[in-house]
Each structure stands twice: as structure tokens, then as C-alpha cells.
Amino acid sequence: MEPTDLPPESNHPSKEQSTFNTSDVDALRVSVLSEALPYIQRFAGKRIVIKYGGAAMVDKHLKKAVLRDIALLSSVGVQPVVVHGGGPEINFWLNRLDIKTEFLDGLRVTDSQTMDIVEMVLVGRVNKQIVTGINQLGALSIGLCGIDGNLIESRPFNKGRYGLVGEISKVNAEVLEPLLSKGYIPVISSVASSEEGGSLNINADTVAGELAAALGAEKLILLTDTPGILRNKNDPSSLISKIRLSEIRQLTKDGVVEGGMMPKTECCIRALAQGVSAAHIINGKIPHAILLEVFTNIGIGTMVVSSG
């Protein structure tokens, strides 16, 4: 908040008044802030990788709320790293250019024409919109993709079964260290280059998971358009709120997890196996979902933990 947004001093109720007139809303605000203290202390100086995509990216108000949460994390000393998708915007441009698109196992089958659009939309447009949005909130962010500083080395996934979809062969996370140490928020598009120099489209969940592992992140948060992992994907009340690493693979085997949820569960598995303490799959349609997850006791969505 800009200092000018603060109410003038004369608007503040006197101490005596506030004892009697504090509204329930004010009381709630203060208790939420107070509840945040141990969480702020716990996460200050730690890294949290946030995958931003899906519905929270389309709605203007939600988008603002997400970026505000990220800026707030940074201003209380947490080091957020943002990895973004851009499915809806890519679909919009593919549609406009009359290019058909197809998903297989939750991944966009990517021919060279589609790759051009993916790269232009993600790296050129979506990335810069997020960076601008964060900068406008008074935090500083820098946009990169996997190609910059060779952050992500990749090769065609599954021998090219999905076209120009890449899998990660190596993450050179040291590229981000000078930025993080200076308080910049890195915003990363999930495009990388192959050894031959062509661009590859990598699922943004996969990038977020590998980056979280390589950066030694405390948490991985995947914002999506469902409440979390559902036992029955058509029934929002069937949310699995906590699941152990040892149980999660079975969900795919049983057909409970499919489509776009597959790369999410897979990246949680990989991140946790490489030392990230917890991964959360949460509903980006809930305003301030990130703050709720990080700074309150409430805990929303699905939390994936190694054990316990």
C-alpha cells in the first residue's frame, strides 16, 4: 500500500473508542494479522515456488489478488519465485489464428506453429503482464524463461511423442541467486531450448516442481482451477486435504487423477523426493488463496507431504 492510501491520523479511532467500537470485521482483520506472525517468522528468508495458471489468470480481480499476495510475501521477507502457465491466453491466440490444439496426458501436443504461439504468448505477453503487475505493487520482479542464462536445459519429452514438448534435463538455478539475494521476484515462463537450439514447451507445473527442488524451496504451491485433488473430479466435496507421497502415485494408477492433474501430482512427487517439505495444490479461484495457505491455520486445497 502506498503511504498516501493510509487513512489520515484523525480518522483513527481513539484508543478508548476502539475498545468499544471495534467491529467484527476489524477484529477479524487484526486476528488474521496476528495469526500470521509465527508463519511470517517461519518463512522469512525461505523460498516458496508458486505455479500461477488456470482460472486465477483469467479473472482481472483474482489476478490482482494473486499478484498482491506475491508482493506481500516478498515484503515480509519470503522469497517467492513465480512460474506461470498461460493456457487460456494461448488457446485464445491459437483460436484466432485457426490453429487446432490437442491435449494428451494433460500436455499440449505442440507442433512448430503452435510452439511459435506458445513462445510469443508466454514469454512475450503473459510474462511481461505479470512482471508489470508485481512492479506496480511496489515489489520488483524480473521476467525470465528457461532459455535465459540457460536456466533450464531440456530435451524432447518421450522421444517427441508430444511434438515440441520438452522434459527437463538440468536446472541451473544459480542464475536466480543474484536476483533473489537482491530481493527481486523471478517470474519464469516455461519455455526452454533444446541442445540443438530450438524452443521446447514444458509443462509449467513440471518447471515449478524442478525449480522448487533446485532452489531448496520450503514450499511448492500450485494454483489451479479445482479445490485440489478430488477423489471424484466432478465432486468438489471429495477433496483430499492431505496425502502422503507414498499414497499419491496410486491415485493415477486408479484413474482418480488424470489429464492436467497428472503433471501436478508428478511434480509434487519429484519436488518432495528432492527435499521440498510440502507441496500444495490449491484453488486459485479463492481470493488470496496463497496467503490463506501460507499465513493461516486454515490450510486449503491438497497438501502433499513426505510422511506423517
Rounded least distance, CB 39 to Mg ion, Å: 28
Q: List binders of ligand ADP among 232-251 (CB under 6 A).
A: 233
- Report whether 180 contacts 186 (CB < 8 A): yes
Select the residue interacting with Mg ion from 228, 260, 284, 301 (CB under 5 A): 260
The stretch near ligand ADP (CB under 6 A) out of 19-27, 59-67, 118-126, 255-263 is: 255-263
Site for ligand ADP in 87-106 (CB under 6 A): 87, 106
> C-beta of 94: minimal distance to ligand ADP in Å?
15
Site string for ligand ADP, 175-214 (x = CB under 6 A): ----------------------------------------
Q: Where are the alpha helices (DSSP H) in the chain?
A: 15-21, 24-43, 60-75, 87-96, 112-119, 127-136, 177-181, 204-214, 245-253, 261-273, 289-295
- Binding partner selected for residue 177 from ligand ADP, Mg ion, none, CB under the kind-specific 5 to 8 Å limit: none
| Residue 178 contacts which entry, Mg ion, ligand ADP, none (Cβ below 5-8 A, type-dependent) | none
287 contacts: CB under 8 Å, gap ≥ 6: 61, 62, 65
Q: Of the candidates 46, 225, 286, 288, which one interacts with ligand ADP according to CB under 6 A?
A: 225
Report in angstroms how near the CB of residue 294 gets to ligand ADP at its nearest.
Answer: 19
Asked if 301 interacts with ligand ADP (CB under 6 A), we say no
- Which among 245, 169, 172, 251 has a CA at the least distance from the CA of 202? 169
Distance CA 81, CA 83 (A): 7
What, of ligand ADP, Mg ion, none, does residue 226 touch, CB below 5 to 8 Å by kind?
A: ligand ADP
If one counts every other C-beta atom within 10 angstroms of the C-beta of residue 234, the result is 6
Task: Determine which residue in the list 146, 156, 260, 301 makes contact with ligand ADP, applying CB under 6 A.
Answer: 260
Binding flag, residue 224, ligand ADP (CB under 6 A)? yes
Match 498516501 to its residue by C-alpha cell: 4
- Closest chain position to ligand ADP (CB): 260
Instruction: Please tell me the distance from the alpha carbon of residue 231 to that of residue 247, in angstroms, as a whole number.
Output: 13
Q: What is the DSSP string of 171-231?
A: E-GGGGHHHHHTT-EEEEESEEEETTS-EEE--HHHHHHHHHHHTT-SEEEEEESSSS-BS
**Residue 54 binding partner per list ligand ADP, Mg ion, none, with a CB distance cut-off of 5 to 8 Å that depends on partner kind:** ligand ADP
Query: Which is nearer to ligand ADP, 192 or 261 (by Cβ)?
Result: 261
Picking from 20, 16, 42, the residue whose alpha carbon sits closest to that of residue 296 is 42
What's the distance, CA 263 to chain centroid?
A: 14
DSSP H or E run through 283: strand 278-283
Residue 229 interacts with ligand ADP (CB under 6 A): yes or no: yes
Going by the DSSP 8-state scheme, the letter that residue 86 receives in this structure is -
70 is in the binding site of which of Mg ion, ligand ADP, none (Cβ under 5 to 8 A by kind)?
none
Site for ligand ADP in 28-67 (CB under 6 A): 53-54
Instruction: Tell how strand 185-189 and strand 141-145 pair up.
Output: parallel
Q: Does 186 bind Mg ion (CB under 5 A)?
A: no
Distance CA 144, CA 142 (A): 7
Nearest-approach distance from CB 70 to Mg ion, in angstroms: 19
Q: Closest Cα to residue 106, out of 196, 226, 241? A: 226
Q: Does 209 bind Mg ion (CB under 5 A)?
A: no
Question: What residues make contact with Mg ion under the rule CB under 5 A?
Answer: 260
Question: What residues make contact with ligand ADP under the rule CB under 6 A?
Answer: 53-54, 85, 87, 106, 224-226, 229-230, 233, 256-261
